[in-house]
């Protein structure tokens, strides 16, 4: 219908810009008309296809309900006789959907059960006007529009160029409008579309005549104009109800709401204005009892709250509260009632009976206006939220008892609104920032309704409203923060925004098939958004109200509790909640790293850490047990990480406690650092197979990946202990091999051997015989260092040689002792290798012996003359003779273990 756009564009362009404007307006109108036709075509086709499908199902149901007809048809097709068959009775046609909606009897038509069909997408803004112009008899409707503009131009022209009194001209126009109403009324049965168009034009001309007489020509006072406009509105509403004509109702109600605005002189009473609007809304409520006209409800909602908000912005003062508050409450209750009535009329038709705009728009707009009215009262917003919560919860309870199945979705919507307002009452009672929280919760509720009704627009609006709420909340951060812990506007606001986003994510998950693939991808963004707000609120609260020394431990408690909560939610079917739940192990590792860097008062169990770390470990195991069905590498890492953390925290705490007990003696805290890893390693090596969960459930995590770093730590600890500590056991005396440091190292070597044997018993690939050479070499190297350390520490304590590398190298006693000791070690290794036929060990002993010989000739011979050097040569020579006799090289054959 591009030509309709062309005509309207030329008219509007001519008004604005004369000839050139008419040309440009006509061109733009034609383009817009063509585009609008293309956009609206799809929805009209979808609607027609839906109606055709409904009629086909009705016909099929009728055929199934009348088997005789089908049998007669079959007989007529197969049996040929000379007698003509009697005409088959015509099947009854099911009444149209409009008749059912209007309450027409449908007893003759069988009940057809069918799944509710998806409603065509709502038209774009302005498309309703276009569909009115292009639908039905388009020429008549365009003619009405042209007539309306023509009369307006005629009045202006006659006022400027003719001598006929303006009163006579206005009376003539009014009589013409009445004539159109009469003609339209008489034609309502023969040509209803034409009749309604004529009547709509007549109502419009009456509005135009009264408005011109009052505003343009000052012929009637404002009171008379107001009465006339109200009369026209009532007349059009009556005509609309009698003829079931929504367009006339919309026209009449629009004129009714605009009447006080058009007839206003600026000196009227707001009580009279709102009283009049209350009567109009009662009329809309009365119409809603008989007609489920959603556009009419929306129109009244927009006019009532829109004009009311404009009045409040310009004229409201606190002293007007008592005369304004009752009207706001009345309008709020009226539109809640209209939403319920609309749902009661629409629910039997299996259509979208929850009008999301009215259901959620009423509390959103009404509560926003209410907070402006009660801004001067302490806790006014909180009491208002509590009252709204009570109203919605009472309605939800009442509708649930009487219409449990029929209005289930509306019950759930009212229940959600009741919970939202009850939740809002808490932060409103303390501090501000309620607007953003309210937006977020309303957005979550709107998204939920959009999902239940399979409508994209409410879903998009709900998500956008939540993101806008978060941005508005952050913009308002500069106002400061409350002094009350937790129960302040910032923390509770973060919690509400997070809860809205997480609720929306859960809604998407539960209705994955309805929302589609794109919404499932959006769900991840929504979940991350909600999780971020939750963490922001908690961490910010810790930063404000927890002392600096305890912030790390408080953060660990908060994160551990959050992970446990998400784990519980995941167990109830919320699959994405498992990701933050299983993040506890990395978070604990991060917390330990931060603690090591910042000190945290010297040891991990200081202050609040005495509760934080044990609780974190218990929740860690609880989460792993709850998600034990998962089989992936991350679960193996999480189990192993718990073992690493337990060893690290235990070693740190024991080291600090022992260091404090012995007043800084270096050897005791050094030993303590090996106790926790060593005990864990020994417990798993000796008794791990008796622990069904978690050790034997995941033996690789606990006996290999989790323990291997502990074993490596013990091995490295022995090297560090021998090179860095003299082993002073004060206040105990020093005795070789029976002092605390030597005993701890020997126990460490024993634990490492036991662990390696446990690996072989459980048939791990890393402990296979083919790979046994490298751990034996590492243990041998560590043992060699340990034995040399024992010798050097003994010389330090008994011969008073300083335990420093430079002093040891310059000492003749140390050099002689090392030569003899290495020779003895070589003798023992080669003798053991000969008896066990271990050629690799024998050659290792021989290499050590060669080192001793080279050392004697290169070092000792250059310093010939001392008794120690002579003893070295004689002792080494004798020992080499003994080696040659008792430990010959083993024969070449496979080495036995």
Looking at residue 71, its pLDDT comes to 44
Paired tokens of 200: 């709509």
Among 354-368, 581-595, 825-839, the minimum mean pLDDT is found in 825-839
* Average pLDDT over every residue of 629-642: 94
Mean pLDDT across 287-291? 84
Mean pLDDT for all residues in the chain? 77
- Which residue shows structure tokens 């299983």? 582
Q: What is the mean pLDDT of residues 494-508?
A: 93
Model pLDDT, residue 768? 58
When pLDDT is cut at 50, 70 and 90, the band that residue 430 belongs to is low
pLDDT at position 618 is 97
Give residue 88's pLDDT band: very low, low, confident or very high (50, 70, 90).
very low
- Give the number of other Cβ atoms within 10 Å of residue 598's Cβ: 12
Highest mean pLDDT among 71-75, 458-462, 559-563, 589-593: 559-563
Beta strand residue intervals within 166-257, DSSP E: none
Of residues 654 and 123, the one with the higher pLDDT is 654
Does the pTM exceed 0.85? no
Of the segments 134-143, 473-482, 653-662, 746-755, which one has the largest average pLDDT value? 746-755
Overall average pLDDT of the 383-410 stretch: 86
The better pLDDT of the pair 706, 661 is held by 706
Q: How far apart are CA 305 and CA 338, in angstroms?
A: 15
Write out the two tokens for 751: 């634990």
Mean pLDDT along residues 473-501: 83
Which of 85-94, 407-416, 617-626, 826-835 has the lowest average pLDDT?
85-94
The string of pLDDT tens digits covering residues 138-178 is 555 555 555 555 655 665 566 566 667 878 878 888 888 88
- Render pLDDT for 594-634 as a digit per residue (tens, 0 to 9): 988 876 567 899 889 999 999 999 999 999 999 999 999 99
Q: What is the pLDDT of residues 536-548, one digit of tens each?
A: 999 999 999 999 8
CA end-to-end span of the chain, whole Å? 96
Cα 521 to chain centroid, rounded? 12
* Residue whose C-alpha is closest to residue 717's, from 746, 774, 674, 778: 674
- Tell me the pLDDT band of 431, cut-offs 50, 70 and 90: low
* Average pLDDT rounded to a whole number, residues 171-195: 84
Of residues 614 and 657, the one with the higher pLDDT is: 614
Mean pLDDT of 584-592: 95
Residue 757 scores a pLDDT above 80: yes
Nearest to 656 by CA among 601, 590, 706, 577: 601
Residue 687's Cβ-side half-sphere holds a number of Cα atoms within 13 Å equal to: 5
Give the pLDDT band of residue 267 (cuts 50, 70, 90): low
- Count of residues for the chain? 897
Any idea which of 344-353, 600-609, 667-676 has the lowest mean pLDDT? 344-353
Integer angstrom CA distances of residue 11 from 18, 19, 85, 283, 300: 9, 10, 64, 36, 30
């Amino acid at each position: 219908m591009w030509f309709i756009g062309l005509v309207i564009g030329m008219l509007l362009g001519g008004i604005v810009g004369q000839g050139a404007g008419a040309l440009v307006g006509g061109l733009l109108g034609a383009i817009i008309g063509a585009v609008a036709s293309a956009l609206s075509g799809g929805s009209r086709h979808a609607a027609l296809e839906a109606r055709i499908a409904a009629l086909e199902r009705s016909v099929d149901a009728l055929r199934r309900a009348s088997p005789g007809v089908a049998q007669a048809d079959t007989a007529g097709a197969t049996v040929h006789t000379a007698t003509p068959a009697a005409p088959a009775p015509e099947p009854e046609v099911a009444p149209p959907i409009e008749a059912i909606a209007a309450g027409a009897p449908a007893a003759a038509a069988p009940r057809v059960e069918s799944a509710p069909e998806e409603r065509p997408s709502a038209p774009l803004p302005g498309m309703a006007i276009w569909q009115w112009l292009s639908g039905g008899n388009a020429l008549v409707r365009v003619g009405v529009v042209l007539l309306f503009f023509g009369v307006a131009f005629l009045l202006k022209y006659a006022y400027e160029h003719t001598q006929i009194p303006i009163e006579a001209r206005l009376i003539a126009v009014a009589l013409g409008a009445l004539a159109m109403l009469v003609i339209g009324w008489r034609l309502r049965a023969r040509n209803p579309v034409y009749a309604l168009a004529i009547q709509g034009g007549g109502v419009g001309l009456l509005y135009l005549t009264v408005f011109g007489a009052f505003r343009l020509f000052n012929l009637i006072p404002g009171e008379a104009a107001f009465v006339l406009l109200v009369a026209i509105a009532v007349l059009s509403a009556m005509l609309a109800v009698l003829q079931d004509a929504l367009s006339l109702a919309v026209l009449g109600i629009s004129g009714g709401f605009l009447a006080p605005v058009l007839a206003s002189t600026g000196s009227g009473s707001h009580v009279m204005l709102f009283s009049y609007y209350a009567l109009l809304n009662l009329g809309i409520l009365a119409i809603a009892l008989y007609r489920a006209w959603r556009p009419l409800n929306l129109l009244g909602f927009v006019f009532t709250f829109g004009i009311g908000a404009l009045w409040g912005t310009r004229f409201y003062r606190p002293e007007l509260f008592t005369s304004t508050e009752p009207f706001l409450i009345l309008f709020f209750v009226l539109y809640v009632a209209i939403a319920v009535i609309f749902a009661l009329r629409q629910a039997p038709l299996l259509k979208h009976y929850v009008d999301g705009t009215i259901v959620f728009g009423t509390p959103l707009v009404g509560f926003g206006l209410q907070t402006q009215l009660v801004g001067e009262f302490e806790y006014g917003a909180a009491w208002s939220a509590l009252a709204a919560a009570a109203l919605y919860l009472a309605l939800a309870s009442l509708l649930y008892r009487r219409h449990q199945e029929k209005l289930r979705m509306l019950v759930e919507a009212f229940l959600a609104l009741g919970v939202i307002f009850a939740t809002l009452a808490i932060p409103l009672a303390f501090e501000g920032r309620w607007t953003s929280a309210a937006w977020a919760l309303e957005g979550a509720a709107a998204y939920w309704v959009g999902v239940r009704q399979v409508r994209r627009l409410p879903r998009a609006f709900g998500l956008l409203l939540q993101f806008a709420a978060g941005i508005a909340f952050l913009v308002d951060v500069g106002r400061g923060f409350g002094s009350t812990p937790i129960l302040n506007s910032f923390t509770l606001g973060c919690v509400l925004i997070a809860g809205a986003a997480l609720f929306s994510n859960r809604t998407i998950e539960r209705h994955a098939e309805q929302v589609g693939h794109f919404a499932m991808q959006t769900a991840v963004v929504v979940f991350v958004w909600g999780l971020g707000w939750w963490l922001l609120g908690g961490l910010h609260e810790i930063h404000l109200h927890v002392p600096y020394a305890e912030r790390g431990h408080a953060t660990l408690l908060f994160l551990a509790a959050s992970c446990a909560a998400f784990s519980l939610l995941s167990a109830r079917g919320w699959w994405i909640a498992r990701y933050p739940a299983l993040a506890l192990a990395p978070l604990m590792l991060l917390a330990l790293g931060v603690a090591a860097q910042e000190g945290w008062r010297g040891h991990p169990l200081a202050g609040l850490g005495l509760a934080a770390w044990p609780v974190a470990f218990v929740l860690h195991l609880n989460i792993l047990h709850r998600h034990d069905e998962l089989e992936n590498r991350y679960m193996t890492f999480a189990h192993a990480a718990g073992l690493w953390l337990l060893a690290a925290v235990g070693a740190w705490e024991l080291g600090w406690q022992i260091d404090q007990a012995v007043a800084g003696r270096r050897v005791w805290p050094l030993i303590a650092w090996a106790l926790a890893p060593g005990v864990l390693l020994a417990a798993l090596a000796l008794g791990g197979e008796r622990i069904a969960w978690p050790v034997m459930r995941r033996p690789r995590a606990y006996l290999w990946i989790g323990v291997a770093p502990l074993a490596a730590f013990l091995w490295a600890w022995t090297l560090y202990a021998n090179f860095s500590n003299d082993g002073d056991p004060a206040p105990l005396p020093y005795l070789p091999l029976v002092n605390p440091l030597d005993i701890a190292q020997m126990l460490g070597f024993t634990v490492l051997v036991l662990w390696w044997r446990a690996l072989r018993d459980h048939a791990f690939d890393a402990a296979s015989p083919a790979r046994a050479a490298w751990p034996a070499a590492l243990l041998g190297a560590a043992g060699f260092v340990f034995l040399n350390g024992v010798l050097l520490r003994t010389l330090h304590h008994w011969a008073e040689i300083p335990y420093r590398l430079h002093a040891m190298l310059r000492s003749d006693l140390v050099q002689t002792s090392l030569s003899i000791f290495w020779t003895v070690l070589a003798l023992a290794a080669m003798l053991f290798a000969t008896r066990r036929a271990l050629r690799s060990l024998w050659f290792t002993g021989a290499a050590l012996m060669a080192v001793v010989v080279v050392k004697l000739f290169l070092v000792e011979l250059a310093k010939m003359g001392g008794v120690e050097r002579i003893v070295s040569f004689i002792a080494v020579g004798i020992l080499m003779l003994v080696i040659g006799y008792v430990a010959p090289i083993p024969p070449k054959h496979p080495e036995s273990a």
